[in-house]
Amino acid sequence: MTAHRHKTSPRSFEVYMAPYYRKSPFWQSTVDAGCISWDVCNHSLIPNGYPTDEVTEYWHLINKVTVWDVNCERQVEITGPDAAKFTQLLTSRDLSGCAIGQCKYAPIIAPDGGIVNDPILLRLGENHFWLSLSNSDVLLYAKGVQAFAGLDVQLREPDVSPMQIQGPRSTAVMTALFGAGHEVMNLKYYHCLETTVGDIPVVVSRTGWTGEVGYEIFLRDGTRGDDLWDAVFTAGEPSEIAVGVPSDARRMEAGIFTYGMDMTIVHNLLQVTGMERLAECLDNDIEHIGKEPLQRVRDEGVAEKLVGIDMAGDAMEWITDFWPVEVAGKRIGRVTSYAYSPRLEKNMAYAWLPTGLIDEGTEVTVISPDGPLDARVTPLPFFDAKKLVPLGASV
């Protein structure tokens, strides 16, 4: 996902509403809430601008609670007698201990070791999995694997559309929506369950794209979008719930990447800072696509890595193209994501750099639209390295 907007005020612009751009079940509710611009992500329209400016939305997320329409998170559903074995083929994560009702960040790996996508996996049953993803055609890739795997599985995109409820008051919203004694209130971080909101079928997970306390509600009946939206906002009124869009500032503080922008299928896990740990099956007997290439990459090393950098200067507009990174006037890398953190009061960026220039404190120059900026390599994530905030702890 991504939401690229002006740093001080959103701009209204025309989007051609073609039938092949899928509209969310929450579409009319977002229009009624004042949405003024949309982006196209994963063949779907996603709100990316409301009259409230991005900094105000950021602080509302940090201090209160916001709701996002993230219909672009489409599900690849894997069922059938061999569903567990097939799902393990797709990912480098060790799924042998993944319990029913558990979620995992589970990159999908190409035959050459590249990253096809980096979805959240939800295990809904013994032989029932969802890959919740955005911005790549994993269903097509999975069907290609299915054609040659010789396994008994069924693959489809179900009628499922998520919204995210994120921020410190999200628990209060969920309590009002489901009741204090409901099993949703006992969900652990990165766990999920099937339930209903009234008579609306949903799956609820303790996940989100923020690094804050948060939940995702996966609507399982596309005709009930406005009903679910109204129920959530009624429950959230005492908590000052507000509509918003995915926050680049907060996801970057948390060290969260955007597939298709920060990394693509030409990159592998061992090149991305923080994702190396997800290559869990390199030294065990679990087989998955791309295992041998990843073993070779591990043994040979990588030439470049995606790292975090701090940049000098004031807040700038969003990134619309990759910004060059230079050392002594020579281009040596590129910035893929940028955001200003109001909390940290600094410019954050992700950049691809040669491995000889990735040590903490290494100084580089970023060629931004505002001119050259001094920058230095910094550890990821930029904030809350121990991931205490989404667990409900103070930092």
Residue 20, pLDDT score: 86
Q: What spatial distance separates the first Cα and last Cα of the chain, rounded to whole Å?
A: 26
From residue 40, give the alpha-carbon distance in Å to each of 23, 28, 134, 136, 350: 10, 17, 11, 12, 22
Residues of the chain with pLDDT under 50: 3-12
DSSP string, 315-379: --PPPSSPEEEEETTEEEEEEEEEEEETTTTEEEEEEEEEGGG-STT-EEEEEETTEEEEEEEE-
Q: Is the peptide bond before 381 cis (omega within 30 degrees of 0)?
A: yes
Q: What is the CB neighbour count within 10 angstroms for residue 303? A: 9
Residue 100 sits at φ, ψ, to 5 deg, of: -60, 130
Residue 6, pLDDT score: 38
Residue 13, pLDDT score: 53
- What are 292's two structure tokens? 């041998």
Residue 251, pLDDT score: 97
Query: What does the alpha-carbon distance between residue 14 and residue 388 come to, in Å, rounded to a whole number?
Result: 40
The CATH architecture assigned to 303-378 reads: Beta Barrel (2.40)
The CATH architecture assigned to 1-280 reads: 2-Layer Sandwich (3.30)
pTM: 0.95
- CATH 3.30.1360.120: which residues of the chain? 1-280
Residue 11, pLDDT score: 46
The number of C-alpha atoms within 13 Å of 115 and in the hemisphere containing its C-beta is 27
- CATH 2.40.30.110: which residues of the chain? 303-378
